[in-house]
Amino acid sequence: MKSIADIRKDFPILHTQVNGKALVYLDNAATSQKPIQVIDALSNYYKTLNSNIHRSAHSLAAQATEAYEATRDIVQTFINAKYREEINFVRGTTEAINLVAYSWGRTNIQEGDEIIISALEHHSNLVPWQILAKEQKAKLLIIPINEKGELDQHMYQKQLSSKTKLVAVNHTSNSLGTINPIKEMIQQAHLFGAKVLIDGAQACPHGPVDVQDLDADFFCFSGHKTYAPTGIGVLYGKRELMEQMPPFHYGGEMIKEVDYDMVTFNDLPYKFEAGTPNIADTIALGTALNYMKEIGYETIKTQENALLQYATEKMSGIDELRIIGNAAQKAPVISFLLGTAHPYDVGVLLDKMGIAIRTGHHCCQPLMKSLGIQGTCRASFAFYNTLEEVDVLVEGLLRTKKML
């Protein structure tokens, strides 16, 4: 088992300086850093394998195809999908949700239908449904939160009805860190015949997810938050649903036969992968997920829980610091306000000390509005962070407080 010190050696950026100070990177919920294995996978692809995949006679293309398709198997195992063709490569969570809204949504949501989302959704899991609801004359319902930042399950049960066609909620909130009881929520939605899309962007960085156990109809995540490059993500959809859905993009790769007046579409998953895909980043996504497995999911969980617990305790001890979101089940994400200071000012001052946190509305403007705030400061941890870095953050916050 690798120690955290050894794990950190795999991440070159963690050994750099920002503003003359050792980087303390606490913005992992925005994007995670990349281990050297992933960086090497990218450059090795371009050095030794680069060629266009599928349908080619030459060896290099066959090898690139094999490497690309190997990631599909790795993802299938990571989320425990029943069939490999249920794994579709997309640019990220945003594109995955847009695909479902455009393709499944426009064929299945009719006037008078209801779509349920939650108050904790990222704009990516809000705007596509808002637009769809307006176009189709459907209704968008929002599950409220309680004072801890947990979804109000009682209200959710009252909102569900035979009119509900879709429930679209995140597994884990990017802004407050709340982990939602999605298995139970999916079961309840299914009792009314509704389909469920789970935004797994903030769940997958912390370990594998079992889509069969959850019985999710759609599940998506972004590679760049799971130690892989930007520009690659995954949409899982149950095979029987994806088979019935019309394509999202039209063009090469997604067709079977074309003439000037007709077209037939390719089988899954290619039906949803039009054009030359993001080959290098897909291969590197496989490397990243293998890296997480090698580190060990237990190691990841143990370290991240320790960081969350330690940081919560230490930060709660800072006078006038208010943690926003105290759910019983939380990812290693701490949203907070420091007295009456504007989050941006806190972020800028911490940056001068080499500490990277996120400030703002975290793509959750309606949530911030309902909390009566403009935004928060957010420290988010990954398994390569250390308790010493939490101490640096706490020290930085104490110094910031004196400066503001």
Catalytic residues: 363
Please provide the size of the chain in residues. 404
- Tell me the three-class secondary structure of 184-251, residue by residue: HHHHHHHHCCCEEEEECCCCHHHCCCCHHHHCCCEEEEEHHHCCCCCCCEEEEECHHHHHHCCCCCCC
As measured in angstroms, the least distance from the Cβ of 59 to ligand PMP is 34
Shorter beta-carbon distance to ligand PMP: residue 76 or 180 = 180
Name, in order, each residue with C-beta under 8 angstroms of 21's C-beta and a sequence gap of 6 or more: 352, 353, 354, 355
Q: Which residues of 30-57 are buried (b: 16+ CB within 10 A; e: fewer)?
A: bbbbbbeebbebbebbeeebeebbbeee
Tokens describing residue 155: 């209200």
Shorter beta-carbon distance to ligand PMP: residue 323 or 367 = 367
Shorter beta-carbon distance to ligand PMP: residue 227 or 321 = 227
Q: For residue 264, give Cα distances in angstroms to 104, 117, 247, 255, 278.
A: 18, 34, 11, 6, 24
As measured in angstroms, the least distance from the Cβ of 52 to ligand PMP is 25
As measured in angstroms, the least distance from the Cβ of 180 to ligand PMP is 11
| Of 31, 27, 10, the residue nearest 232 (C-alpha) | 31
As measured in angstroms, the least distance from the Cβ of 174 to ligand PMP is 3
Q: Is 179 helix (H, G, I), strand (E, B) or coil?
A: strand
Measured between alpha carbons, how far is 257 from 78 in angstroms, rounded to an integer?
33
As measured in angstroms, the least distance from the Cβ of 28 to ligand PMP is 11
The DSSP output letter for 267 is P
Shorter beta-carbon distance to ligand PMP: residue 286 or 396 = 286
Q: For residue 356, give Cα distances in angstroms to 18, 25, 343.
A: 9, 5, 13
Shorter beta-carbon distance to ligand PMP: residue 28 or 136 = 28
- Which stretches of the chain bind ligand PMP, using CB under 6 A? 92-94, 122, 124-125, 170, 174, 199, 201-202, 222, 363
Shorter beta-carbon distance to ligand PMP: residue 29 or 350 = 29
Name, in order, each residue with C-beta under 8 angstroms of 45's C-beta and a sequence gap of 6 or more: 64, 67, 279, 280, 283, 284
As measured in angstroms, the least distance from the Cβ of 272 to ligand PMP is 16
User: Is the peptide bond between 269 and the residue preceding it cis, with omega within 30 degrees of 0?
Assistant: yes
